[in-house]
């Protein structure tokens, strides 16, 4: 369950929400790859790592562009995650999927992503909605139905 994206993680942001859902999907693929032969797990973790780095860079660019007050603390959290993911990849490449590494991929990485999204990213989404409403998702309720042609 913890590898599933859930609606409480919504930022109401057109770029960041799909990226978050994609990261959870890639973590699920990695968790499923534990049972597959060969280097399937490492391939899946590499795909997750690449998507994560691209996503975090996008988030950090937005935080700088909007002068988000928590951007330095937020980036520190990103840097720690990237370091942890690289460490897990290197350990799996060296030692294979040991029980402790499997537990990290199945449980701790999704939990971290969930925690970070809820505690760090959701407030960022609220800040963006307050300060740059044009970047937030269109709210169909607030926007109302499309105008009828004459």
* Residues of the shown chain interacting with Fe ion in the complex, contacts defined by CB under 5 A: 59, 120-121
Q: Give me the count of residues in the chain.
A: 150
Q: How far is the CB of 65 from Fe ion (least distance, A)?
A: 15
Q: How far is the CB of 78 from Fe ion (least distance, A)?
A: 6
**Which residue, 44 or 52, has its beta carbon nearer to Fe ion?**
52
**Which residue, 101 or 128, has its beta carbon nearer to Fe ion?**
128
Q: How far is the CB of 145 from Fe ion (least distance, A)?
A: 34
**Which residue, 17 or 121, has its beta carbon nearer to Fe ion?**
121
Backbone angles phi, psi at 71, to 5 degrees: -65, -35
Q: What's the farthest any 2 CA atoms get from each other in the chain?
A: 68
Of 109, 108, 52, nearest to 78 by C-alpha is: 52
**Which residue, 106 or 116, has its beta carbon nearer to Fe ion?**
116
Q: How far is the CB of 123 from Fe ion (least distance, A)?
A: 10
Question: Token match 């909007």: residue?
Answer: 66
What does the block give as tokens for 35?
């049972």
| Residues 121/59, Cβ–Cβ less than 8 Å | yes
């Amino acid at each position: 369950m913890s590898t599933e994206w859930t609606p409480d993680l919504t930022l109401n942001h057109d770029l960041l929400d799909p990226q978050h859902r994609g990261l959870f999907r890639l973590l699920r693929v990695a968790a499923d790859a534990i049972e597959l032969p060969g280097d399937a797990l490492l391939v899946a973790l590499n795909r997750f790592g690449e998507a994560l780095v691209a996503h975090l860079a996008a988030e950090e660019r937005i935080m700088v562009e909007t002068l988000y007050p928590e951007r330095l603390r937020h980036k520190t959290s990103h840097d720690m995650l990237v370091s942890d993911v690289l460490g897990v990849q290197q350990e799996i490449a060296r030692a294979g999927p040991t029980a402790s590494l499997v537990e990290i991929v199945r449980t701790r990485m999704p939990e971290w992503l969930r925690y970070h999204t809820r505690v760090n990213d959701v407030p960022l989404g609220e800040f963006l909605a307050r300060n740059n409403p044009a970047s937030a998702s269109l709210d169909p309720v607030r926007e109302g139905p499309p105008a009828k042609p004459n």
